[in-house]
Amino acid sequence: MLTVKNIHQYYGGSHILRDVSFEAKLGKVTVLLGRNGVGKTTLLKSLMGLVPIKSGSIELEGKPIHKATPYERARAGIGFVPQGREIFARLTVEENLRMGLAYKSGGTPIPAELYELFPVLKQMMNRRGGDLSGGQQQQLAIARALAPKPRLLILDEPTEGIQPSIIKDIGRVIRMLADRGDMAIVLCEQYYDFAQELADDYLVMERGEVIARGLGKDMEAQGVRQLVAI
């Protein structure tokens, strides 16, 4: 689904991403791990086109997208849940979900499945996004990204500042989406236990490079917890 080859990215004179390559496959959760400041969020923003890469290539379903704009990548089938959620605080839950359908025709309905995945959103459909709890806002951000039915879902630290009960709900939804087999998921996560539970494949970054990779089931045996410990 997603193929990243030898990408490099710079901020000013700083070399932020160094020869990063990986694949994210349909029906799989690819987990991206690493300490703060190693380039994880920059990598995800590069995938979405929010920051340009200096060299290398990014392909979605075999088609190069590294020169495409963010909205072109969204139209191509990428859903992005940024760190910090970035919902529209003054818009209602329903209006936030409709923003996820912005490039669809005006009459496109909000998929009923979103309310099945996150029942709290149906109960709070007319409430403003800014009035929701942090966990509810995160569910809204994920639902907004899912509204146009992406083929690739990118999540940047979805458990940050979220209460444990909602973390479990989010993990359940991520696993279910992957197991359907029609979507690839890239999950950037600091919470090791959550990442390990969901990972089909994993990458560990340090100083802008991928220093370890493998199967999720091998993470503990390969000492990944120690690699990402603060």
Cα separation, 111 vs 113, in Å, equals: 5
Specify if 143 maps to a domain: no
Given this model, what pLDDT does residue 230 score?
62
Higher pLDDT pick, 19 / 37: 19
Q: What domain range includes position 66?
A: 2-87+150-228
β-strand 78-81 against 63-64: which pairing, if any? Answer: unpaired
Cα separation, 131 vs 40, in Å, equals: 30
Cα separation, 53 vs 74, in Å, equals: 18
Specify if 189 maps to a domain: yes
Given this model, what pLDDT does residue 119 score?
94
Specify if 136 maps to a domain: no
Specify if 163 maps to a domain: yes
Residue 21, domain CATH:
3.40.50.300
pTM score: 0.93
Specify if 154 maps to a domain: yes
pLDDT per residue as tens digits for the range 56-97: 999 999 999 999 999 999 999 999 999 888 899 999 999 999
Cα separation, 48 vs 45, in Å, equals: 5
Which helix or strand (DSSP H or E) is residue 63 part of?
strand 63-64
State the total domains in the chain: 1
